Structure 1
């Protein structure tokens, strides 16, 4: 199980803690410290489309018009923190955010 996020994100911290308490052994992947590969970005965007971008984030709002109109792959490659977090993947199953639906998938 991989949890993609950033170390300063409170939601990522909550998800990581809950997953551990539920008996999972998540690997935390700080996308700021270790940028995503092109293949990882592609996999995330294929799974979630433009939902992978947090359009309410200050990072997104600071984009210039060209970058704002770019494809999600370009936006994440340019600024990984624009990705909605956390993204969790385990054995081909994906969730994005730490909402009730994601908690149901991973915590039961």
Structure 2
């Protein structure tokens, strides 16, 4: 299982603490592999884009108008977190639903 997020994100830290066997990928340093990003975008659509983030607020209107997948490739920190890849099944966020699907409290 891989957990894509930011090492400074409290939600990602909570998820990682509950999933000690997960491999953590810091999207700021390592990015998100293109196939993973494409598959996650196909599943979640624009919900994958965090429009409440500091990164989003720092973008110009022209940049915000770009296609979401293109924006995520250029600015991986715009991705909602964490993105969890469990054997090809993607889960987004650290919601009660995500925790239930992973079998953690």
TM-score (norm 1): 0.89
Give RMSD over aligned pairs: 1.2
SS in 1 for 2:56: helix
Structure 2 equivalent of residue 89 of structure 1: 85
Contact 1:19 1:107 in 2 (8 A): no
The whole-number CA distance in structure 1 between the counterparts of 2:69 and 2:82 is: 17
Structure 1 equivalent of residue 13 of structure 2: 13
Contact 1:86 1:98 in 2 (8 A): yes
SS in 2 for 1:33: helix
Q: Are residue 106 (structure 1) and residue 99 (structure 2) matched?
A: no
Structure 1: gaps of 5 or more residues: none
TM-score (norm 2): 0.91
1:29 counterpart (22, 25, 39): 25
Q: Deviations over 1:71-103 (max 9, x none)?
A: 221111111111000000112221101011111
Q: Deviations over 1:46-93 (max 9, x none)?
A: 121000011111111211112212122111111111100000011222
